[in-house]
Structure 1
Amino acid sequence: MTKTTLLRASLGLALALPAAAFAADVPQSFTATYHVLQGGSPLGDATLTLKPAANGQFEYTNRTQGTSGLAAALGASVSETSDFTWAGKVPQAVSYRYEMASALKPKTRSLVVQGGTVQVQDNKKSYTYPAAPGMVERNTLPLALGVALRGGAQQVSFPVAVKQQVETQQFKVAGKEKVTVPAGTFDAVRVERADEAKGFSAWYVPTKYPVPVKLAQSDGGDLTLELVKFQGK
């Protein structure tokens, strides 16, 4: 469960247009729920929520609760909270916090962008490095990709704030497939990692949802997310 920080795919696209220019083109609020499976077996449930916050920012949360197996026995849960501003069609990072709770070892990580600098606190370790324009972080990356796909992108590259640096990560549309999840059956586009990192696939219906209907990743375990319900504006 320590790796089920869900939907953390690494993506990117930096546009220099003002956020107001695309106010009608980017999502303002929604709630999406998913079933989480490991090796095809139920593991937990995840809820993603986007809502407006103060000072023109948005809050994006991702909460996962273990409901089966060892994850349930340990009371394992993961919470990720991001604050960002829409910089054109990019959810540009302002801050991020990760918290993993369980009966074993809890874990926290925070990231704050201040004055062109990224400050990271990973449990007891601290890191500082320069920020990049149009920079996103792992929690909002799938959202950034969904917005890019809706705009017609076939391949995207984002500067991503990770633990010790800004990392450029690339994704591409690899094909179209019919996908069945609890929310229904969809004609989706499959997106895969396009750089040296492998083990990630996501299926989007960009004309309908800004987040994947299905996501599968092997990094940290054979994890799959399947959309159950989406409510949004």
Structure 2
Amino acid sequence: MEQDMDWNQRIARRVGREVARAREQLVDERGRRLSAQALADRCAGLGHPLDRSVIAKLEKGIRQTVSVADLLVLAKALELPPLALVFPVGYEEETEVLPGRSEHPVTALRWASGEGVLPPRGDAAEDVQSRWYETALFKIRHLLKSEETVRYNKRRASDHWQRAAGADSDEARQAYERMARNADEQVTGQEALLQRWRQELEEKGLAATTPPIFGEVPNNLLASQGGDRSPW
């Protein structure tokens, strides 16, 4: 039956399935499963009203289309990233990413989020990759990942210095100090690379600034979670 639907209908049905699945997993303020009406209320509160009947039709696969506006508001109301409603990672082995073309949901997600490309077909592999590397999205994503690496190594260095200060033997203190200095050296090198990368972006007319990270990981995370194990 689904094969007889057009692309818009198939996407709407998939989103509807994921909305229903997500709603089943949520509870309201009274500890009860989130109702369609409660979801509709959440959407209205976000500034894009969706009637309960519209949500019911979407979940039942009756609604034939779903707009980007609907998708964004539903995702926020369901406390999910929007693409989780389009590509059911963890629930399906294969999903239709383009009309008649199926890929693993993770592959589809990486492409849609700008993290990678769809596996090219035919002789276009090299051209697809080279074009992707030149996009603003790729360059900014690379900058973000580089900044994350710098923050991670700063936390590692801080954690090692703290452990060194509290070490109960000279041997342990010296080991932690070595690891701390190593992390500090990595930060120095990475920050120099980041500066060059930002200059390249600015030369291409791209914004080289990135937003602050919501919920920044505290410096003591590695110690509390055992992320960097003691050498002893």
Determine which structure has more spread, i.e. the larger CA radius of gyration. Answer: 2
Higher-RCO chain (CA-CA 8 Å, sequence separation at least 6): 1
More strand by share: 1
Please report the TM-score for the alignment, with normalisation by the length of structure 2: 0.24
Relative to its length, the structure with more helix (as a share) is 2
Q: When the two structures are superposed, what TM-score results if normalisation uses the length of structure 1?
A: 0.24
